[in-house]
Amino acid sequence: MRLYSKSLFRYLYRLTNDYHLAEDLLQETFYKAYLHVSGISDIAQIKSWLYRIAYHTFIDHCRKAKKIQVVQVDDFFALLKLDPLLETENAFLQKYELELIYKHLSNMKELQQKAIMLVDLKGFSYKEAAELLNVKLPYLKSLVFRGRRELEKRLRNEVKG
C-alpha cells in the first residue's frame, strides 16, 4: 500500500479532478485489492493489477453516479513538476515542450493518447499498459507506434510552421 498509494492517488485524481473523491476511490481500491490479494499469483504484476482495480473502481463510481467523466490529458501535464534546479531558460523550454506535446496529443485518438501516456510518460511496460487498457498486446504496440509517429509528425510540422 505504501509503495503504490501516491501514484495511484495521482492517477485517480487525474481521472476525477476531485481530491476527496480520489481519496475515497483510493481507499476502495485498496479494500478491493485486500479482498482479492490471494487471487494474484505473480507479485511482479501487482502494479498493473492495482491500476486496473483503480480504473474499474472509478468506472463503477461513474456508473453509480450516472455521470460520465472525461479524462483530461492536460491534468497529467499540469501535475508534472519542473526540476527546481534547472535554469530559468531550461525550465521555460521544458514547459514549452510539454505544452506542445499536450496540444498535439489532445488532438489524437483517445486510445492512442492513453497508450502513449501509460507507456511513454508513466513508464508502464507494454504488457501492463495493455492490461490497463484492456486491449491485446500487439494492438497496444501498434497504438503506441502509430501514436508516436503521429506525434512526431505533428511536432515536426509545428517547428517548421
Amino acid at 81: K
Q: What is the pLDDT of residues 22-59, one digit of tens each?
A: 999 999 999 998 888 777 777 677 888 888 889 889 88
Read off the pTM: 0.46
Q: What is the pLDDT of residues 106-139, one digit of tens each?
A: 888 888 888 888 888 777 888 888 888 899 999 9
- Is the pLDDT at 161 greater than 80, yes or no? no
**CA–CA separation, 19 vs 1, rounded Å?**
19
Alpha-carbon 122 to chain mean position: 6
Q: Are 130 and 137 in contact (CB under 8 A)?
A: yes
C-alpha cell belonging to residue 41: 499469483
The domains found in the chain, sorted by start residue, are: 1-86 (1.10.1740), 88-160 (1.10.10.10)
Q: What is the pLDDT of residues 55-113, one digit of tens each?
A: 889 888 877 775 444 445 445 455 555 455 545 656 666 677 777 777 777 888 888 88
